[in-house]
Amino acid sequence: MGKPKHLTNKQNPFAKKKRHNKEKADEPPARREKPYESIVLKNESFEAYYKHQQICSSEEEWDQFIEHMRKNLPVTFRITGSKAQANLLLKLIKRDFFDEYFRAVKELRKEEEGAHVEPPQCLGWYPGEMAWQLELSRKDIRRSEPLFKLHNFLISETSSGNISRQEAVSMIPPLVLDVQPHHKVLDMCAAPGSKTAQLIESLHAGEGTGIPPGFVMANDVDNNRCYMLVHQAKRLNSPCFMVTNTDSATFPSMQITKDGVVSPLKFDRVLCDVPCSGDGTLRKNADIWTKWNLGQATNLHGLQYRILKRGAELLEVGGKLVYSTCSLNPIENEAVLHHLLKQTDDSLEIVECGHMLPTLKYSKGMTYWEPATHKELKYYKSFDEVPENQRTVLRPDMFPPAKEESVEKFHLDRCLRILPNQQNTGGFFVALIEKKKPLPWESTDTKEDNGQDLAKGSEAPEPPTKKAKYMRGFKEDPFVFFDDNEDVFESINEFYKLSEGFNPRNLLTRCKVGKKKNIYFCSSVVRDLVQLNEKRVKFINLGVKSFVRCVTRNIKCEFRLAQEGLANVNAFIGERRRVKVQPSDLIELLSCTDPTKPPEIAALTAETQENLKNFDSGSCILQCELDELNLAVVGWKGAVSLRAYVDQYDTVHLLRLLGGDLSKFEKNKFQDKLRAEQEGEQKDDDGDEDIVENESPSPGEGEVAPTEETA
């Protein structure tokens, strides 16, 4: 889930304006004035307000709720990737880390009287045992030497995209959205991107189905946070994913080619994880205790409504939308839903989704609440009671529906409220909405756009008018797709013997003139969307790097394969550039840490040497069978040597799956710090080894260009 959603000054009335310039951006982030330990975890207004709203069912549960709110949040992670790799990684985690973790925690808490150590807990509501919760907080793991191997594991596997360090409740919205490979998906407020990553994984969940026909479009209003999305999604290497940068409340109507006709784009699934006050994240954002007030929720209600309304307009009839926040406040949750539902008659319906999350404990949505002024906490049962001077703060749409119609008509009780005390998580709110028929104000007239007749009854209304657009953030390089006359494609096609099913028009570069350095691959539907809508919305990123220019002597093709894009182009590459290697050989290749001295072919197994006979030098695919798992790795065949062309994090991941020696990659920062102190050097307490949840280094880091010898 990350921190509460970022708000621009335009969206956030109570935020101070900030300067944005290159000089400011280059400055390191300032350290907080007080550590979390010194923050008083108490706010009388917070406690009084939520106790009055009766978000807990009893006094006993309230005490448990407050107690959990003041505890550190436990670490949670989920295993991603293909089914075969995920199952093998889960097996290795159970074998290599859970026992060590249990022993280390017992050692850390041996002096605590009556301390009970919980083993790692599987989140039973997440499918396939693929999500786990550890009793310790992230800070505990980062600062405990007995757990340095677990810490290293979490860092490397997160960076390689094979696990996601994600808060438990943040995993819920994508699960109930139930994305299928053919779905057109919009994530309206996507940054930092952990939920977006789940949506992409669901899109690719069909085993052996190739590139899915659907796509995920992830949007964020903040330009800088869009690049967080890019880094998050790059780990997944999906050709069916794109990032856009626009105000989600005024997201433009877009077009798509359907059955050869340009038609309005409607989405099958929409995620509205909207900006919120974030008081459900108090367990990891302790400074909210000192800043919390009701003014945040009342100021955000209108923005949340506008985003939800626009999401409903962009949703296909029969499609589903999830509205979610990391807030506990009914003003930001049930009131926003009620605000829209009462305007849409029976076009939208909140539907049950708790059954999709077996074993998850939650409370039902609220059907009654009392808005209050944020300074004196004066509560009102109806808008008629609100004094005139407060009616710009508390508005009619913030009040609950009449009691006699709330359950039968609006079904607010079908929403999910997750409280921290129920399963030791953060606080969260989720509602699943189904679109039964067009909204009352949606057009049913046939219109003409770009010379094409649009399908009757399917056009989304235009977003609300606003001031003239101006360029925000960085100016993006162009997206230049290949055409039938692309000069470099002929050599790529000839060298890799691409199959007839490969469409060169799905290749693109980011430059219109000059030599192409990187060639990216995207799906046909993504190409279509960009070409039809690049003047309607700002596209930040799309496509997966699949070919990289590699200047060497005596090589027939100037472009080598890129590991990031191998999974997408692998099926199209002919047998001529494939070589089968034994697991022991792949371990040898991956274990090589000196890029100037790759393993010699003569040192590999006889089977691999035989497979390399009469094999032309240059980029190739190394194929390795490991039980039921088929691994494919980009390699480079030199005159007398063979190398694996994989970045540092993927190297560690593959060696872990293969059972290779990881000792040369393990780094004990505690021992490093001790040695540095002994040598008179000073280092930061945490060094720079930890990574922030939902962030990762750029893929490709650690790759080394082929030397003349490899040519």
Dist. CA 502–CA 484, nearest whole Å:
13
Please report, for residues 161, 209, 232, 413, 700, the alpha-carbon distance to residue 235 in angstroms, rounded to integers and kept in the order given. 5, 20, 6, 38, 10
- The percent of the chain in helix, strand and coil, each rounded to the nearest 5, is 35, 20, 45
678 CB contacts (<8 Å, ≥6 apart)? none
Write out the two tokens for 566.
């191998």
Helix and strand element counts for the chain (H, E): 22, 27
Structure letter (DSSP) for residue 4: S
Handedness of CA 17, 278, 274, 183 (dihedral sign): positive
Please report, for residues 103, 434, 573, the alpha-carbon distance to residue 499 in angstroms, rounded to integers and kept in the order given. 53, 41, 7
CA dihedral 94, 98, 99, 105 (to 10 degrees): 180
How far from chain centre, in Å, is Cα 351? 25
- Residues labelled catalytic: 326
Write out the two tokens for 636.
């480079």
Dist. CA 242–CA 530, nearest whole Å:
9
Residue from 637, 609, 633, 645 nearest 710 by CA: 637
Query: Which H or E run contains 52?
Result: helix 44-52
The total of other beta-carbon atoms located within 10 Å of residue 493's CB is: 17
Dist. CA 322–CA 471, nearest whole Å:
30
Please report, for residues 437, 446, 522, the alpha-carbon distance to residue 565 in angstroms, rounded to integers and kept in the order given. 40, 41, 10
Answer for the pair 529, 256: CB distance below 8 angstroms, yes or no: yes
Write out the two tokens for 36.
């979390």
CA angle 594, 600, 601 (to 5 degrees): 140
Sequence letter at residue 269: R
Answer for the pair 424, 74: CB distance below 8 angstroms, yes or no: yes
The total of other beta-carbon atoms located within 10 Å of residue 475's CB is: 7
Q: How far apart are the first and last CA of the chain?
A: 46
The total of other beta-carbon atoms located within 10 Å of residue 674's CB is: 12
Answer for the pair 518, 549: CB distance below 8 angstroms, yes or no: yes
Residue from 399, 421, 423 nearest 412 by CA: 399
Can you spell out the DSSP letters for 146-191? GGHHHHHHHHHHHHTTSEE---GGGGHHHHHHT--TT-EEEETT-T
Cis peptide before 583 (omega within 30 of 0): no
Dist. CA 152–CA 140, nearest whole Å:
14
